[in-house]
């Protein structure tokens, strides 16, 4: 089936009791046993399983083309579960510009716990090959990266990982499974912040890990999900599942709008540089064109005049809302270095845009006003 059909139908079933077409929300935390002690409904306690979470996980697995999925209370909890499934003394290779939340997890939580981590520039895959050690167990890919929009060749990195007997995980939050299919390029695990494009409306927090194979490593992640309990509520699962129904059409609109805005910014005299893989002068354009169907809804750009000018532009925006996060219908603008704080790789003159679903002409007019 085409991805539009999968997005609408995966994880969906007619409610057997009421015949409701829209999936009901099952808020119960516990489920009745039969007299013989069995659980005929298949559910025991909501931390271990719930009809809404099961529906979402089935949908995510089918959407990414994987074998199984585990939903979490946030994208960070999802990433943490993958790292917790490793052992002290294991080595992880991650991008030097990995999302700041993942970098904090690695440096502040898992290095003291016993993981070893190498941060490398993954735009050059030879750096990944050089970083492999005898105790390497995981290569973490993020492409496009956040907020610099760097591109990593998933196929080449996954090949390096597999030749070393190592797992390859890919954070696919920014492109979503509509624009990029990491399993088709060799990844073993896909991680999402479902808060972003999958939920799509800025009203739900969540995360997910999808596995290409339901193997022993994924079962560790599943056990961490159950034992740790960092799971989304039934209502949160229902909201993400509702968002996924329109995901293919929203993603195309985000990407088309972003292409128009990126073209405008790239020709503006007050803009120093634009980071958007859809532009042909982007250093990762060819790789992105090979592994992505569209180029996404996130743009970063740097301004002439430094931090002061960047903050002034953000302050003058009228349609763009000054807020963090991404993937919703409302366009956002953010001075990323201020949010990430010390150690950020985001330049002081960089603004990140999450391009929403407004008309691109209106977004361009707003940026033209802010830049004037």
What residues are annotated to the active site? 47, 99, 171, 196
Could you tell me which residues are beta bridge partners of residue 167? 138
Look at phi and psi of residue 189 and say left if phi exceeds 0, alpha if psi is from -120 to 50, else beta.
beta
Q: What's the rounded Cα separation, in Å, for the pair 69 and 64?
A: 10
Note whether 291 and 284 are within 8 A (CB).
no
Note whether 357 and 254 are within 8 A (CB).
yes
- Of 166, 115, 110, 121, the C-alpha closest to 143 is 121
Residue 53 dihedral angles phi and psi, to the nearest 5°: -70, -40
Give 3-state DSSP helix, strand, coil % of the chain, rounded to 5: 40, 15, 45
- Of 51, 49, 52, 66, the C-alpha closest to 6 is 66
Strand, helix or coil for residue 224: helix
């Amino acid at each position: 089936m085409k991805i539009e059909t999968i997005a609408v139908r995966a994880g969906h079933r007619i409610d057997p009791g009421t015949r409701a077409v829209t999936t009901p929300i099952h808020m119960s935390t516990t489920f009745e046993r039969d007299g013989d002690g069995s659980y005929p409904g298949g559910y025991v306690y909501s931390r271990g399983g719930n009809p809404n979470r099961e529906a979402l996980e089935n949908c995510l697995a089918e959407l990414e083309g994987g074998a199984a999925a585990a939903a979490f209370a946030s994208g960070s909890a999802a990433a943490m579960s993958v790292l917790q499934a490793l052992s002290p003394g294991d080595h992880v290779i991650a991008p030097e510009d990995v999302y700041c939340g993942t970098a904090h997890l690695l440096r502040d939580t898992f290095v003291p716990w016993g993981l070893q981590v190498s941060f490398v520039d993954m735009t050059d895959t030879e750096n990944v090959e050089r970083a492999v050690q005898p105790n390497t167990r995981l290569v973490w890919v993020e492409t496009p990266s956040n907020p610099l929009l760097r591109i990593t060749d998933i196929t080449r990195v996954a090949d390096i990982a597999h030749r070393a007997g190592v797992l390859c995980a890919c954070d696919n939050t920014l492109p979503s499974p509509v624009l990029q299919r990491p399993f088709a390029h060799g990844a073993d695990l896909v991680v999402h912040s479902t808060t972003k494009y999958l939920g799509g409306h800025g009203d739900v927090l969540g995360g997910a890990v999808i596995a290409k194979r339901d193997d022993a490593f994924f079962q560790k992640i599943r056990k961490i999900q159950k034992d740790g309990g960092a799971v989304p509520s039934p209502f949160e699962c229902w909201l993400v599942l509702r968002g996924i129904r329109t995901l293919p059409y929203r993603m195309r609109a985000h990407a088309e709008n972003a292409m128009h805005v990126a073209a405008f910014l790239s020709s503006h005299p007050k803009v120093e540089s634009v980071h958007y893989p859809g532009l042909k002068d982007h250093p990762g354009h060819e790789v992105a064109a090979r592994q992505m169907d569209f180029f996404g809804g996130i743009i970063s750009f740097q301004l002439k005049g430094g931090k002061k000018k960047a903050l002034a532009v953000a302050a003058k925006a009228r349609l763009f809302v000054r807020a963090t996060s991404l993937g919703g219908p409302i366009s956002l603008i953010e001075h990323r270095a201020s949010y990430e704080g010390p150690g950020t790789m985001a330049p002081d003159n960089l603004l990140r845009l999450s391009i929403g679903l407004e008309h691109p002409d209106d977004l361009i007019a707003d940026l033209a006003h802010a830049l004037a």
